[in-house]
Amino acid sequence: MPSSPSSPSPARPVRSDARRNRDKLVAVARSAFAGAEGPVALEAVAREAGVGIGTLYRHFPTREALVEAVYAAELDDVTGSAALLLERLAPEEALRAWMDRYAAFVATKRGMADVLRASVASGRIATPATRARITGAIGLILEAGVKAGTLRAGVQAEDVTLLVLGVFLSTADELDSERTRRMLDLVADGLRAG
C-alpha cells in the first residue's frame, strides 16, 4: 500500500562516505572557529576538509547550520568528558580538568559568537537545555567527590555551574587566559572537602 503524503517516510541510511565528509567538515570547522579572530570562510573549511564547497552546503545549507553542528559536537564532548575524566582521575582532579575542558568549549564559542547569538535568539539552540547538560556533568563529578570524601557535600551543581559561568563572563574580553585559570583554581579549591 503506498504511503500517504502525510505519513512519514522511512529515513534513508546515511552513506558511510557522506558521514565521513560531514564529520571531517565539523572537525575542521571546530578548529577554524576556535582559532578565528573574525569570520571563518566556508570555502577554507571545505578545502581543509578535502571536499568541495557543494559538499559542505549539502551537509550544512547555511553558515548557521554548520555553527550549530560544531556547537552540538563541542557540547557532546564537554559533557561526555566528565565520566571519562572520572575514570582516570580522582574526583577533585577530574573537576579541575573538566573546568579546563569547559573553558576550551567557551573559547571555541567565541569564534562563532554572532551566529550562536542568532541561533539562541531564534530558539534553534536552547540555553536551558545546554545549562542542564553542563550542570549534569558537574553533578556527576561532585557526587563522585562526595563519595570519595574529597569534595564538599551539600554543594548544588547548579551553583557551581553559575560560578564557572561567572568566571567566563568576567574574563570574556581578556586575551590572557591565565586569569581564567586562576579563578577556576579558586572555584575548585573552594569545593574541596575540609
Q: pLDDT by residue for the chain (194 residues), tens digit each?
A: 444 444 444 555 667 888 899 999 999 998 888 777 777 889 999 999 999 999 999 999 988 889 888 888 888 999 999 999 999 999 999 999 999 999 888 776 665 666 666 666 666 666 778 889 999 999 999 999 999 999 999 999 999 999 998 888 888 776 668 888 999 999 999 999 98
Grid cell of 158 as nine digits: 547548579
Could you tell me how far CA 26 lies from the centroid of its own chain? 13
pLDDT of residue 173: 72
Specify which residues 192 forms β-bridges with.
Answer: 151
| φ, ψ of residue 192 in degrees (nearest 5) | -70, 145
- Tell me the CA distances in angstroms from 177 to 44, 106, 128, 145, 184, one per residue in order: 27, 12, 26, 27, 11
Count each helix (H run) and each strand (E run) in the chain, helices first.
9, 0
- Tell me the CA distances in angstroms from 75 to 28, 35, 80, 134, one per residue in order: 16, 18, 8, 8
pLDDT of residue 117: 63
**Long-range pairs for 135-139 at CB < 8 Å and ≥24 separation?**
135/160, 135/161, 136/79, 137/78, 137/79, 137/80, 137/81, 137/82, 137/98, 138/82, 138/95, 138/98, 138/164
Could you tell me how far CA 171 lies from the centroid of its own chain? 18
Grid cell of 177 as nine digits: 587566559
- Burial class of 96 by CB neighbour count within 10 A (0 to 12, 13 to 18, 19+): buried
